Amino acid sequence: MRAHLLMPICFLTMLSSVAFADQLQGLVRVTGNAPFKQVTITKPSEFVGMSLCPGVKAKRILNLESLVVKIYGGEKTLGASKCFEIGSFTVLKTPAGNDAIVGTLLEKDGALQILAEDGRTVRLADVPAGLRNMLGKKVVVDIKPEAALTSGAFQAVYYAEFP
């Protein structure tokens, strides 16, 4: 194979690894009105942060307002302003500051449970209808920080579909 044909592939590979080498962690804040909403990631106690570059992935994170996320990507310049281009992301904390449980909502033996990404299974009790409607989907859940209910299941106090 000729070397000049490989050049674009080598160049693209070098750019890919550099483009998403950074990470950004903070609270998801949404400002503005549709269709001009802007998503910003800030430290929880601050209001100024890094804007996310517009696009499909930023629209997905829009639904995670008030959650703490970790985003892998890289800084990019668009016109006169800078933004953070999203490669991938994960949810770390819920609005209450508790560790988020991210996993798939399943039903087993008539009870709902979450098969979390970290491999654990969290049984749920008194599941709200909105969460029950997300059966089979990937969700973000916060459970009561107290011990499990007498049935050994936990009560969800916050939930959202993972975008």
Three-class secondary structure of residue 37 per DSSP: coil
pLDDT tens digits, 50-65: 888 888 888 888 888 8
pLDDT of residue 114: 94
pLDDT of residue 112: 92
pLDDT tens digits, 117-139: 999 999 998 889 999 999 999 99
Rg (CA), the chain: 20
Question: In which residue ranges of the chain is pLDDT below 50?
Answer: 1-20
Intervals of CATH 2.40.50.140 along the chain: 3-93
CATH 2.40.50 fits 101-161, yes or no: yes
What are the beta bridge partners of residue 161?
Answer: 139
Three-class secondary structure of residue 11 per DSSP: helix
Token pair in block for residue 48: 């100024």
CATH fold of the domain at 3-93: OB fold (Dihydrolipoamide Acetyltransferase, E2P) (2.40.50)
pLDDT of residue 102: 94
DSSP 52: B
pLDDT of residue 4: 40
